[in-house]
Structure 1
Amino acid sequence: MDTLRIACAHDVMYAPQYAGVSAGLFAEQSILLEFHRNNGTCEGTVGAVNRGEVDLLLGTCLYGVRLAETGVNPVIVAQSNQQTRHVLAQRATDLHDLQWSGLRGKAILVHPGQTPTAWAAFTYALNRSGLSLGEVKPIVGYTAEDAIGEFLRGVGDVLFVDGDSALRNDLRITLPVSRQAGRLPWSVYMVDRRQLEPKRELLLRFDKALDNSLKWLRGETTETIARALAPFFPHFSAERLLAIVQLHRDLDLWAQSSALQLDQVRRWSEALELGGLIAPGRQLRDYLDVL
């Protein structure tokens, strides 16, 4: 049995790897996964690679850009997620659903997250709907603890928030960002090129196991998936975990296959450039190679 150490945030959105472990799909490839848990920050994930504590990094492509800036030559091994789970939500008492074209002039209260990519996906979605940030009124500055409470109190017209946090009786998900932004290489596995050749055969087995895990997720019921994930997320009640899994399925969060989709990479490059997260004229492929 070969061991692969993975740096990633401990999150249900990364269900493919946990479901694959639970279903024995990685064991079938003689692979044991070990998860280097951290707070999901850039330093926590990128730093783990730089310090040689892990074999793979799972997260946003921006982590790969950061790795490249620290002198590492990152290579994308596989894709896990193809969507952002961020949404625009309204109050449960709001009578009329907003449409993207109806956001012009609306005040959008922003629930803060840990990475800027969700906002980049939103601005990209807004752009695809024919609007710009100058045509809406972002409200920023509230803490994550206060943002939802202030929105429910009446601040803002719509709430920009991750979908998991919007799973409340007093909120209603109206506009998933992914429906407007389209599929994107949201979460990918990356390796330092110096480890690529020594581990190539192992990484190819990993890719096959992950692909089988993604197929398993598409073929199983929400209840079966939630039960498979439960040992990895004991802090969630069965009801809460079931609701999160159903939301992620509704959003089509997980990739269709482990193979990186280059058309998604191209569009995500456009979105990140639009959001100011990569330099004008640069592409993600300028920073990241693909296995």
Structure 2
Amino acid sequence: MTGLFSEQSVQLEFYKSDGTFEGTVGAINRGDVDLLLGTCLYGVRLAETGVAPIIVAQSNQQTRHVLAQRANCPCDLRWSDLRDKVIVVYPGQAPTAWAAFTYALAKSGLSLGNVKLIFGYTAEDAISEFVRGVGDVLFIDGDTALRDDLRIALPVSRQAGRLPWSVYMADRQNLERKRELLQRFTTALDRSQKWLQGETAETIARTVAPFFPHSSPQRLLAVVALHQSLDLWAASSALQLDQVQRWSQALELGGLIAPGKQLGDYLDVL
């Protein structure tokens, strides 16, 4: 995988943010990084600080979040079946997963008013209490749901549709200065994405294993297989504009961008 970037004479260095909006956006504002990988909401925040953000490539096209049932639950679940169901919410670190969920609900003709939500559990307690019998379904990250006592019932992505979940963004001024370098980067990224599309879960898991030394081969294989089943990785680095429009609607519905606004009002596309 990394060889694809070396072929384009691209040397990658990774900057670890503190995880906050301010810390991540600040890295671009200070010029500490050339590219920011993450949700489009980072681009919205960049625009609000006076930066002219531009999306140069797309990485993931789906949320990993799912609705899970208890492993011993025999019934198949449909989105329309969620009416009046009690949903235990596993705590997350970003509001975008919830925006994708509310958008998926809306596409099924439901709203948050049609379900009952249980917030407030710790991460550990949310799972243990659900398995014990609290609630009807569990809203959780798909990777975390890979447990013997849980069964993934409804991936949010199947109902919400493809979304520009993770994108690479740059400051337009920096882009103009380093356009040729960034084009080589997107070429290498595109080749790596096509590699992901064409390889088996076993090959991908084996290739990325050195980067995840604390994960067992079995765990890595299960995660890769899940990501493939969700169609998580974009097949091309080129941004799909229909996905941007869909995500704008979802973010507006979720209250994460102002009513009547579109992502295109904040972000440009290379």
| Bucket of the pairwise TM-score, normalised by the shorter protein | over 0.9
Secondary structure (helix, strand or coil) at the match of 1:268 reads: helix
Contact 1:41 1:114 in 2 (8 A): no
Aligned residue among 176, 188, 213 for 1:209: 188
> Does residue 72 in structure 1 map to residue 51 in structure 2?
yes
Structure 1's unaligned 5+ residue stretches are 1-19
Secondary structure (helix, strand or coil) at the match of 2:121 reads: coil
Please, what TM-score do these two structures have when normalized by structure 1?
0.91
**Change in 2 beyond 3 A, CA 1:38/1:227:** farther
Paired positions, count:
270
Aligned residue among 203, 209, 225 for 1:246: 225
Runs of 4+ in structure 1 deviating by more than 6 angstroms, as ranges, are none
> Does residue 31 in structure 1 map to residue 40 in structure 2?
no
Equivalent in the alignment of 2:215: 236
Equivalent in the alignment of 2:258: 279
Equivalent in the alignment of 1:113: 92
Distance 1:248 1:25 in 2: 21
Equivalent in the alignment of 1:141: 120
Distance 1:64 1:275 in 2: 17
Give, in angstroms, the shift of residue 221 of structure 1.
Answer: 1.3
Aligned residue among 107, 125, 139 for 2:104: 125
Secondary structure (helix, strand or coil) at the match of 1:26 reads: helix
Aligned residue among 222, 242, 266 for 2:245: 266
Aligned positions of 1:34-45 closer than 5 A: 34-45=13-24
One-letter amino acid matched to 1:151:
F
Distance 1:199 1:111 in 2: 41
One-letter amino acid matched to 1:25:
L
Structure 2's unaligned 5+ residue stretches are none
RMSD of the alignment, in Å? 1.0
Give, in angstroms, the shift of residue 38 of structure 1.
Answer: 3.4
Give, in angstroms, the shift of residue 39 of structure 1.
Answer: 4.8
Give, in angstroms, the shift of residue 51 of structure 1.
Answer: 2.5
Secondary structure (helix, strand or coil) at the match of 2:58 reads: strand
Distance 1:249 1:241 in 2: 12
> Does residue 48 in structure 1 map to residue 27 in structure 2?
yes
One-letter amino acid matched to 2:175:
L
Distance 1:48 1:290 in 2: 20
